[in-house]
């Protein structure tokens, strides 16, 4: 008996409820954890929901934490399901950590904890002759004496030492290895071939160029590569990536979305033959490609996105690590994590021990889904004069559709996990309320009366009331001191606006209460800098409201009108900081002279302002207060040299501080200190009273209870986050979308009558099927030539395609006037449709971007690939992706119902002329 099997990989396309599966016995969903992927998750769930019960489903994945929930869901909607799990890996993995000087095991011998030699304190000790703490002044020890110390003793001695953020950053920067450093260790330990993950294309290409002089191949292997390259050049002359040839002949290559598909296939073939020893790749290589290696190297645990730098998830880590170890070739696979300025071994272990994450449903409704589920009777035009209708099929009612939609994985998990989580939340809230009542002032007073004698109680109560009053006054004096400091700082920083750029120290506590001191160079006042991006941030973000009033609570001293202002500085950690006076610990006289380095150069303040304005303004809040927040934003390679010239705090002298020059601030500090001393003396007096011992027991119990409440609130926060993850919203979205469909007359949701617009939209594959159908049914497209039609279609599918800013050239191909006019007309329709979506709360994108239409029109007109790439600001792979998306849409048009035949013919002609090497399916 022959089994008929369909295998869906992570690149599976859309599936509709009307798609038939004929003569299929088994469906294999490989990498089923993509059910959690925002862009693919709905399709995965639709496959399982709509799959006929007689067809067997096999789901495979190595990174699913809640496999029991997945199996239970499939069992409920599809039939009897068996869960098979195994923790055995055919090729075991060993984890390493690479620093500037060594490649060490990441874990200890038992694999339960981090290798002690990778701790920050150990690394600090191994690179410095100064002990990392003070004991009656700085103590220096001979480096040889340190070297003779037992490593265990070192960790014991310094394991509890708490380092500042600045110290941590300095240690990490000093330990960051070059690519060649890590590669040397891999080669000397026979750990090649390796896949080296770098999370941006530019970094992959730069790494290849960096290693062009490092030969990893012998003469025989180099000859094989040359021969393979000659054959490839004969078959696909336009697909050869010329800048990569030199590195390829040395055994290194890049593999990312900026490369042509056929070139990537060529690299994969050479890698599998052992002719490429190191492939620098983006994380997309971790899925869907059969390309295992002996070693997987991760250049970082975080990557930069449009919303800022984010940490990898544990699932992403394990997916990339899973590339290490070739079955039948290697006894062990190796995973190497690399020290970066942002993460060290501690962060690596934290992510590693976190384990895989649970699947989270991403099931969302779309126009195609709603139309296919509800479509019933079809409008039939029997004659030019008649609008009679004929029912061809029975549509589902809203209730029937709801039952299908609510079969999603999110609903299943919600019905079980959410109920348990909500019950747990209720219990936590009740326990928190009880504990809070036990530590109220009344409760403490009652306990004191019960445990203390009447005389002792009266004495303690009177002293405690006095202490509270003195503490309130101390708080008030501290506030006055802060405002006096603000006033003094304003005057000081104002004096520096046009002079040199002084150094200053920023100080704050993070979310865990750890205090950080950051040396930085002052740039200027937020609203005085000539930066359009900064000013735009201030106008759109209330958190950056300038000159926000401090709350003076009606105090009668002359600092009520002090208004905190925002300032900008560059830290020694190559991070931009935006802050108010609240976060400035001190300002120094010394700094960068605001003098041009060479004749004709811009002044340092102007140069740094330009560097700041080049950034993407992705600010992250570090701390907040009533006097404004402290924000940070990652610097760039261009600001790195400036940050390196900011001195460490220990080298800055107290005599250079200028804050003490304010007499008003000095008096406020002295008043605060006197009151603080008074409070301390009163505490000592209380400690000598008769009832203090018993009262201290009550206070200790209160502290213990407060810690317990804190833990309960943390647990409550985690549960709330979990509920937000699993709470289904599919049906609400379904109804909102159905309202848009009803109002556009694509389908009558009351009678299930589907109109021609709905028929076309139901048959299209795309992000916004209804918008695509509206465009393709527009008569304005009928008079377009094939190349012009291709250009308009490209404007509908160019979402996510971006110009590479580091390229100094730009596309010289502008769309024809006809294409521009058509897109302008469509843009008016798009605006109306977006308003309709907004009215019903639907947020599905409607792409229409003419930026690349001219390039597609040129390609469809017969321009060669070489001519296209001569003046193109796109990477090869991006242009290929844009052309293939356009071809895919053109190829759909002839198959769509109720589309004009002229449009269908032009789409076929455009698709045929565009589908040619090096982007044709045969080539890719």
**pLDDT score recorded for residue 656:** 82
Question: What is the spatial distance between Cα 343 and Cα 339, in angstroms, rounded to a whole number?
Answer: 6
Backbone angles phi, psi at 91, to 5 degrees: -120, 105
19: tokens are 């798609």
Question: What is the spatial distance between Cα 874 and Cα 734, in angstroms, rounded to a whole number?
Answer: 37
The two beta strands, 26-30 and 5-8, are parallel
> Residue 326: is it exposed, middle or buried by C-beta count within 10 angstroms (0-12/13-18/19+)?
middle
Q: Which residue shows structure tokens 């009880």?
A: 434
- The residues facing 281 across adjacent strands are 197, 255
H/E run at residue 166 = helix 165-175
Count of beta carbons in the 10 Å neighbourhood of residue 56: 15
Question: What is the spatial distance between Cα 488 and Cα 662, in angstroms, rounded to a whole number?
Answer: 6
Q: Which residues make Cβ contacts (< 8 Å) with residue 435, sequence separation at least 6?
A: 705, 708, 709, 712
In the chain, helix, strand, coil percent, each to 5? 50, 15, 35
911: tokens are 């698709």
**Does residue 334 have a cis peptide bond before it, meaning omega lies within 30 degrees of 0?**
no
In the chain (924 residues long), the average pLDDT of successive 10-residue segments reads: 55 42 81 82 85 89 84 89 86 92 89 84 61 39 38 37 70 87 93 92 90 91 95 91 92 91 92 94 72 90 75 87 88 93 87 85 86 74 43 68 81 72 87 89 83 84 87 88 83 82 90 84 82 66 54 44 82 90 90 79 84 79 86 85 86 79 79 90 86 84 89 86 66 89 89 90 92 94 95 93 60 85 94 93 91 92 88 84 94 93 95 90 51
Question: What is the spatial distance between Cα 46 and Cα 42, in angstroms, rounded to a whole number?
Answer: 6
**pLDDT score recorded for residue 213:** 86
**pLDDT score recorded for residue 687:** 85
Cβ(199)–Cβ(282) below 8 Å: yes
Count of beta carbons in the 10 Å neighbourhood of residue 542: 8
DSSP 280-320: EE-GGGGSS----BSEEEES-SEEEETTEEEEPPHHHHHHH
Q: Which residues make Cβ contacts (< 8 Å) with residue 584, sequence separation at least 6?
A: 489, 504, 505, 506, 507, 567
First to last CA, the chain: 35
**pLDDT score recorded for residue 537:** 67
Question: What is the spatial distance between Cα 15 and Cα 41, in angstroms, rounded to a whole number?
Answer: 12
**pLDDT score recorded for residue 542:** 60
Q: Please, what sign has the CA dihedral across residues 580, 585, 591, 592?
A: negative
Q: What is the DSSP letter of 414?
A: I
Q: Please, what sign has the CA dihedral across residues 436, 441, 442, 443?
A: positive
Taking the C-alpha atoms of 423, 424, 430 and 435 in order, what is their torsion angle to the nearest 10 degrees?
170
pTM for the full model?
0.66
**pLDDT score recorded for residue 105:** 93
> Residue 656: is it exposed, middle or buried by C-beta count within 10 angstroms (0-12/13-18/19+)?
middle
Strands, sheet with 5-8, edge to edge from the N-terminal-most edge strand: 5-8, 26-30, 56-60
Question: What is the spatial distance between Cα 658 and Cα 660, in angstroms, rounded to a whole number?
Answer: 6
Q: Which of 186-199 are b and which e, b meaning 16 or more Cβ less than 10 Å from the residue's Cβ? A: beeeebbbbbbbbb
Q: Which residue shows structure tokens 């019950």?
A: 423
- The residues facing 507 across adjacent strands are 517
Greatest alpha-carbon span in the chain: 105
**pLDDT score recorded for residue 281:** 92
């Amino acid at each position: 008996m022959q089994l008929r099997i369909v295998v869906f990989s992570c690149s599976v396309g859309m599936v509709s409820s009307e798609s038939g599966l004929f003569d299929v016995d088994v469906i294999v969903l490989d990498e089923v954890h993509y059910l959690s992927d925002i862009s693919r998750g709905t399709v995965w769930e639709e496959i399982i929901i709509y799959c006929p019960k007689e067809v067997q489903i096999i789901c495979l994945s190595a990174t699913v934490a809640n496999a029991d929930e997945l199996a239970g869901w499939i069992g409920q909607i599809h039939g009897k399901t068996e869960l098979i799990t195994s923790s055995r890996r055919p090729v075991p993995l060993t984890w390493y950590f690479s620093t500037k000087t060594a490649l060490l095991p990441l874990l200890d011998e038992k694999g339960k904890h981090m290798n002690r030699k990778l701790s920050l304190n150990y690394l600090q000790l191994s690179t410095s002759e100064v002990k990392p703490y003070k004991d009656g002044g700085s103590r220096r020890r001979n480096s040889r004496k340190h070297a003779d110390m037992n490593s265990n003793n070192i960790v014991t001695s310094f394991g509890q030492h708490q380092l500042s953020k600045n110290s941590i950053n300095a240690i990490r920067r000093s330990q960051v290895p070059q690519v060649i450093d890590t590669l040397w260790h891999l080669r000397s330990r026979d750990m090649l071939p390796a896949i080296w993950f770098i999370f941006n294309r530019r970094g992959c290409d730069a790494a290849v160029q960096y290693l062009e002089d490092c030969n990893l191949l012998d003469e025989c292997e180099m000859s094989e590569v040359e021969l393979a390259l000659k054959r490839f050049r004969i078959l696909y002359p336009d697909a050869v990536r010329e800048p990569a040839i030199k590195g390829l002949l040395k055994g290194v290559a890049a593999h990312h979305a900026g490369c042509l598909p056929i070139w990537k296939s060529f690299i994969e073939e050479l890698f599998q033959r052992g002719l490429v020893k190191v492939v620098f790749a983006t994380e997309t290589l971790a899925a869907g490609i059969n390309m295992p290696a002996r070693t997987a190297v991760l250049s970082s645990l975080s990557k930069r996105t449009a919303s800022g730098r984010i940490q990898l998830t544990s699932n992403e880590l394990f997916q990339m690590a899973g590339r290490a170890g070739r079955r039948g070739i290697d006894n062990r696979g190796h995973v190497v994590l690399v020290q970066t300025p942002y993460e060290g071994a501690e962060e690596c272990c934290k992510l590693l021990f976190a384990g895989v994450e649970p699947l989270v449903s991403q099931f969302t409704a779309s126009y195609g889904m709603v139309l296919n589920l509800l479509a019933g009777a079809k409008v039939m035009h029997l004659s030019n004069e008649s609008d009679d209708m004929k029912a061809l099929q029975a549509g589902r009612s809203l209730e029937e559709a709801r039952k299908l939609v609510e079969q999603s994985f999110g609903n299943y998990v919600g019905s079980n996990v959410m109920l348990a989580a909500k019950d747990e939340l209720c219990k936590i809230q009740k326990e928190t309320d009880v504990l809070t009542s036990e530590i109220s002032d009344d409760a403490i007073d009652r306990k004191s009366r019960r445990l203390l004698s009447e005389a002792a109680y009266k004495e303690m109560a009177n002293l405690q009331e006095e202490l509270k009053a003195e503490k309130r006054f101390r708080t008030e004096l501290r506030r006055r001191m802060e405002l006096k400091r603000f006033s003094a700082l304003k005057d000081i920083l104002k004096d520096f606006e046009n002079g040199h750029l002084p150094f200053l120290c920023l100080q704050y506590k993070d979310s865990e209460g750890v205090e950080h001191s950051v040396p930085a160079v002052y740039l200027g006042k937020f609203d005085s800098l000539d930066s359009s991006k900064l000013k735009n941030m201030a106008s759109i973000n209330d958190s950056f409201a300038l000159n926000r009033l401090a709350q003076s609570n009606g105090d009668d001293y002359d600092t009520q009108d002090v208004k905190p202002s925002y300032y900008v500085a560059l830290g020694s950690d190559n991070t931009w900081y935006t802050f108010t006076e609240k976060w400035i610990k001190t300002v120094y006289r010394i700094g960068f002279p605001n003098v041009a380095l060479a004749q004709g150069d811009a002044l340092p303040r102007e140069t740094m302002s330009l560097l700041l304005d080049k950034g993407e303004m992705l600010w992250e809040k570090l701390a907040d207060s009533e006097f404004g927040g402290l924000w940070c934003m990652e610097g760039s390679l261009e600001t790195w040299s400036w940050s390196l010239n900011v001195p460490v705090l220990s080298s800055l002298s107290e005599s250079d501080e200028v804050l003490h020059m304010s007499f008003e601030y000095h008096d406020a500090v002295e008043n605060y200190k006197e009151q603080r001393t008074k409070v301390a003396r009163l505490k000592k007096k209380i400690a000598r009273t008769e009832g203090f011992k018993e009262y201290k027991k009550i206070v200790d119990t209160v502290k213990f209870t407060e810690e317990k409440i804190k833990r309960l609130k943390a647990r409550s926060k985690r549960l709330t986050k979990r509920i937000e993850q699993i709470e289904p919203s599919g049906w609400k979205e379904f109804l909102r979308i159905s309202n848009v469909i009803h109002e556009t007359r694509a389908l009558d949701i009351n009678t299930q009558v589907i109109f021609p617009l709905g028929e076309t939209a139901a048959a299209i594959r795309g992000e916004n099927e209804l918008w695509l159908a509206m465009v393709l049914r527009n008569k304005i497209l009928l008079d377009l030539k094939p190349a012009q039609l291709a250009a308009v279609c490209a404007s509908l599918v160019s979402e996510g395609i971006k110009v590479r800013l580091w390229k100094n050239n730009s596309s010289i191909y502008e769309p024809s006037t006809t294409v521009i006019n058509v897109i302008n007309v469509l843009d008016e329709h798009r605006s109306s449709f977006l308003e309709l979506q907004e009215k019903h709360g639907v947020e599905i994108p409607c792409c229409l971007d003419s930026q690349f239409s001219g390039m597609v029109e040129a390609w469809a007109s017969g321009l060669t690939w070489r001519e296209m790439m001569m003046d193109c600001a796109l990477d090869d792979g991006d242009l290929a992706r844009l052309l293939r998306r356009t071809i895919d849409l053109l190829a759909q048009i002839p198959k769509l119902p109720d589309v004009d035949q002229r449009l269908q013919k032009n789409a076929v002609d455009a698709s045929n002329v565009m589908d040619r090497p090096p982007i044709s399916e045969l080539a890719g």
